[in-house]
């Protein structure tokens, strides 16, 4: 038995305790928590076979009461002596996609991002926001199969794009490959078909939070997206961070969302809608180029979930919904390169070079922290990906 | 042992043999085939535990060689004596969703439908088709969790809509609830991330075909769909027929798609692209109101699959992609009521009443047949749903 020594102010201290799926050579993936620079096996620590699974889904399906109970037992167990065989150095393990993704929906919840994209994609339109934007959290379904864990290489997608001035598209590798720095929310327990989730009940359904990079091929997207929305411009890959931060760890990070005017319809009302004070950073080839503030997001996670289900649509354990690009009001708070470089017309300097969109070999890392209880800070780990050349 | 007597010209004769998942009281769902008016248990008939599963996914994952082999053994076995305990009357069984839906994508592959919808949704636009429409099969991801089997009641969705002349939306039950008569294609074996499926290889991946009703709330859809596409207007429910007709049963139904001009990019080229001569019918409260011809569809299933994966997106066993509304050139070949009644302005008479969109209590049934080998016809069964009142 060992007493694990982790400083109180560690980003992965006792106030965080995120869940992930790890493996060590020769052993099957199973659930662990990160505590300081350790990964602790939950099946061994808590003597609970739920955590012998290679995904969080069985645990998530057990619901809020179980989540709270396990979190409480975990804090106690990690405050005492821990079986040696349950402990690994984080550098010794492989981290896997922590959950099986059921349906995946991407929202568009930042007013700054939606306004910027409106100006860039529809320059002739007098209003950057569509008339619906402040009445409902706009979102669309994306591809669950291409959600990958941090560290997975991203192959540059090929597809159709319409060159400037052309009337017919050409095919080839995307020339405007971009990121979207987002926050993802995981549904632990869903709702049956026909029974919407009220915004006030979101806490009973939301299990946890991850970082999310919605890689985006802007040239493919611009050509395909009218009238049915993004498809191939997004579906090739999305990267999630390996540690799912429990919603319960973010109690101290709750902040009201910015004022919502005009007032929302009753099914979206909350008093007040809570956002999360998560501070993101976007690192491009080792240099931090942006610090998007999640607290600036217009629509709250509970409002997104209420909207998603208000028509009776069911959600399931493992449903993932992402916020859309997190962008703040100032330039170096923008979470996508198309915004940061204003469609490529205002390059940024990265590692001494003038840059717009992603080149082969580039690496992007999203990181974030948020306030934890007792003045601590909660770490989210990272969502990392490197661009490989197109295959054709 | 029994010799099952099924006429050669039965819609579920030896040239069809679709796969489904059935149960009888007190027994777990498992895989069967429909032969005439019988459901035959495949686990017992072929002595093969693959078919003891409550879904087709394990069998589909085994790939084309296995599909061909099982189909061949099935034809032999049903031509001889069959164990009594393997046979049920179709009226004695409950039919279940035949497969677990992985990702679901809905295309928009009928030129007639896309042109009609363009005129109805964008009346001020000079061209009904968007510039991209003839260059790529436009599609979007939908909600997998709300795909239900024929016979499941459909609760009228509530949501936001913008009343005519209003500047702010109201909330309530959809007032323009509609159907979309479609054909769905099921991926039996997918492709790994980064390895697109060439159009010429689609036969190795496509397992079978179902009927598909993409229930659509036109008022919700019209307000929400710009700029990221349909979401709540579609995500409440989609109905599939319970019998998956193997692609192999449709060899005699293959027809060239209508001429494609301008010519398509190389990754979409086939010589020629094959469509399917499936004749659909839409029954509304017992009256056939439309006969949409699948042979009129512009984009072929193989082209849709090639497009879906050309950016490296992975597909999985159980992926479902639907064709979009099947509409032919003439009025009573239109597969959606918004087209059939021209946005509600040209009602049709159903059971003696003038009708536009769906009322509570209405029932819609999609049916279809296609040519089988040897002059037979292949039946698809039905996709049936009745509208229940909104819950709020």
Based on the fold, state whether residues A222 and A336 are members of the same structural domain.
yes
Min Cα distance B227 → chain A (Å) is: 6
Interface test with B, best of A141, A155, A177, A323 (most B CBs within 10 A): A141
3-state secondary structure of B66: helix
Q: Of the residues A96, A126, A148, which one is the last residue of a structural domain?
A: A96
Based on the fold, state whether residues B176 and B293 are members of the same structural domain.
yes
Burial of B105 from C-beta contacts in 10 A (0-12 / 13-18 / 19+): buried
Whether the pLDDT of residue B392 is over 90: the answer is no
Backbone angles phi, psi at B51, to 5 degrees: -95, 5
Query: H-helix or E-strand containing B212?
Result: strand B206-213
* Contact state of B145 with A226 under an 8 Å Cβ cutoff: no
Based on the fold, state whether residues B67 and B112 are members of the same structural domain.
no
Based on the fold, state whether residues B87 and B216 are members of the same structural domain.
no
Based on the fold, state whether residues A207 and A354 are members of the same structural domain.
yes
* Contact state of A235 with B169 under an 8 Å Cβ cutoff: no
Min Cα distance B242 → chain A (Å) is: 19
Instruction: Give the closest of A265, A266, A311 to B235, CB-based.
Output: A311
Based on the fold, state whether residues B209 and B345 are members of the same structural domain.
yes
Based on the fold, state whether residues A69 and A141 are members of the same structural domain.
no
Instruction: Name the residue among A3, A184, A4 with its Cα closest to residue A90.
Output: A4
Q: Which residues of B touch A103 (CB under 8 A)?
A: 143-145
Q: Please compute the mean of the pLDDT values over residues B21-27 and round it to a whole number.
A: 97
3-state secondary structure of A185: strand
Residue A370 · residue A279 · CB < 8 Å: yes
Residue A247 · residue A203 · CB < 8 Å: yes
Would residue A250 be called left, alpha or beta, if left means φ above 0 and alpha means ψ between -120 and 50 degrees?
alpha
Q: Which residues of A touch B102 (CB under 8 A)?
A: 144-145
Interface test with B, best of A123, A157, A231, A390 (most B CBs within 10 A): A231
Please, which pLDDT band fits residue B251 given cuts at 50, 70 and 90? very high
SS (H, E, C) B110-162: CHHHHHHHHHHHCCCCCCCCCCCCCCCCCEEEECCCCEEECCCCEECCEEEEC
DSSP secondary structure string, B306-348? HHHHTTS--B-TT-EEE------SSGGG-SSHHHHTTTTTS-E
Min Cα distance A370 → chain B (Å) is: 30
Interface test with B, best of A168, A174, A312, A388 (most B CBs within 10 A): A312
Q: Over the stretch A318-350, which tens digit does the pLDDT of each residue have? A: 999 999 999 999 999 999 999 999 999 999 999
Instruction: Provide the H-helix boundaries in B149-248.
Output: 218-224
Which of the following is catalytic: B113, B135, B141, B307?
Answer: B113
Q: Of the residues A96, A128, A153, which one is the last residue of a structural domain?
A: A96
Which chain A residue lies closest to B308 (C-alpha atoms)?
Answer: A232
Would residue B267 be called left, alpha or beta, if left means φ above 0 and alpha means ψ between -120 and 50 degrees?
alpha
Q: Which residues of A touch B121 (CB under 8 A)?
A: 227
Residue B296 · residue B323 · CB < 8 Å: no
Per the structure, the complete domain to which residue B183 belongs is given by: 104-388
Residue B312 is predicted with a pLDDT of: 98
Residue A121 is predicted with a pLDDT of: 85
* Contact state of B230 with A229 under an 8 Å Cβ cutoff: yes
Whether the pLDDT of residue B179 is over 90: the answer is yes
* Contact state of B160 with A265 under an 8 Å Cβ cutoff: yes
| Number of residues that this document lists for chain B | 392
Q: How far is CA B156 from the centre of its chain?
A: 21
DSSP A22: E
A75: CATH: 2.30.30.230
Based on the fold, state whether residues B7 and B128 are members of the same structural domain.
no
Q: Considering chain B, what is the average pLDDT of its residues?
A: 97
Q: Please compute the mean of the pLDDT values over residues B359-369 and round it to a whole number.
A: 98
* Contact state of A217 with B311 under an 8 Å Cβ cutoff: yes
Neighbours of B91 (CB within 10 A): 7
Min Cα distance A36 → chain B (Å) is: 33
How many Å apart are CA B27 and CA A319, to the nearest integer?
30
Q: Which residues of B touch A235 (CB under 8 A)?
A: 141, 308, 311, 313
Instruction: Name the residue among B364, B356, B357 with its Cα closest to residue B385.
Output: B364
Based on the fold, state whether residues A258 and A178 are members of the same structural domain.
yes
Residues of chain A with pLDDT under 70: 392
Instruction: Give the closest of A226, A310, A316 to B159, CB-based.
Output: A310
How many Å apart are CA A213 and CA A239, to the nearest integer?
5
Backbone angles phi, psi at B151, to 5 degrees: 100, -15
Whether A113 is a known active-site residue: answer yes
Tell whether omega for the bond before A375 is within 30 degrees of 0, i.e. cis. no
Q: Which residues of B touch A142 (CB under 8 A)?
A: 141
Based on the fold, state whether residues B225 and B314 are members of the same structural domain.
yes
pLDDT over 90, % of chain B: 97
Residue A161 is predicted with a pLDDT of: 98
B256: CATH: 3.90.850.10
Based on the fold, state whether residues A55 and A108 are members of the same structural domain.
no
Count structural domains, chain B: 2
Q: Over the stretch A296-323, which tens digit does the pLDDT of each residue have? A: 999 999 999 999 999 999 999 999 999 9
Kindly report the pTM of this predicted structure. 0.98
Q: Which residues of A touch B316 (CB under 8 A)?
A: 145
Based on the fold, state whether residues B28 and B123 are members of the same structural domain.
no
Q: Of the residues A73, A96, A119, which one is the last residue of a structural domain?
A: A96
Query: H-helix or E-strand containing A112?
Result: helix A111-121
Residue B121 is predicted with a pLDDT of: 85
């Amino acid at each position: 038995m060992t007493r694990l020594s982790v400083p109180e102010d560690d980003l992965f201290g006792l106030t965080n305790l995120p869940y992930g799926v790890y493996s060590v050579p020769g052993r099957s993936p199973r659930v662990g928590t990160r505590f300081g620079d350790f990964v602790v096996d939950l099946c061994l620590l808590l003597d609970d076979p739920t955590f012998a699974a290679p995904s969080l889904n069985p645990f998530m399906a057990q619901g809020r009461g179980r989540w709270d109970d396990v979190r409480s037992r975990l804090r106690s167990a990690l405050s005492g002596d821990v079986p040696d065989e349950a402990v690994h150095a984080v550098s010794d393990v492989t981290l896997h996609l922590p959950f099986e993704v059921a349906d995946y929906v991407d929202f568009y919840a930042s007013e700054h991002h939606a306004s910027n994209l409106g100006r860039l994609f529809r320059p002739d339109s007098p209003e950057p926001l569509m008339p619906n934007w402040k009445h409902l959290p706009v979102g669309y379904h994306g591809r669950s199969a291409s959600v990958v864990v941090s560290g997975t290489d991203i192959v540059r997608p090929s597809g159709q794009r319409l060159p400037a001035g052309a009337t017919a598209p050409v095919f080839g590798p995307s020339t405007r490959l971009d990121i979207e720095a987002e926050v993802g929310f995981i549904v632990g327990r869903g709702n049956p078909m026909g029974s919407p989730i009220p915004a006030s009940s979101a806490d009973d359904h939301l299990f946890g939070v991850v970082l999310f990079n919605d890689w985006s091929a802007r040239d493919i997207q611009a050509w395909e997206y009218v009238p049915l929305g993004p498809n191939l411009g997004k579906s090739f890959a999305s990267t999630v961070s390996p540690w799912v931060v429990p919603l319960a760890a973010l109690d101290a990070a709750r902040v009201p969302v910015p004022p919502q005017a005009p007032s929302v319809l009753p099914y979206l009302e909350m008093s007040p809608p809570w956002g999360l004070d998560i501070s993101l950073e976007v690192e491009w080839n080792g240099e931090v180029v942006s610090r998007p503030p999640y607290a600036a997001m217009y629509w709250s996670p509970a409002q997104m979930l209420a909207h998603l289900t208000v028509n009776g649509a069911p959600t399931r354990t493992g449903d993932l919904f992402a916020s859309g690009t997190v962008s703040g009001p100032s330039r170096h708070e923008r979470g996508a390169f198309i915004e940061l470089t204003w469609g490529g017309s205002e390059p940024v300097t990265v590692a001494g070079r003038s840059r717009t969109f992603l080149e082969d070999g580039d690496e992007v890392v999203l990181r974030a922290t948020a306030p934890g209880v007792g003045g601590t800070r909660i770490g989210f780990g990272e969502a990392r990906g490197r661009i490989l050349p197109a295959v054709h």
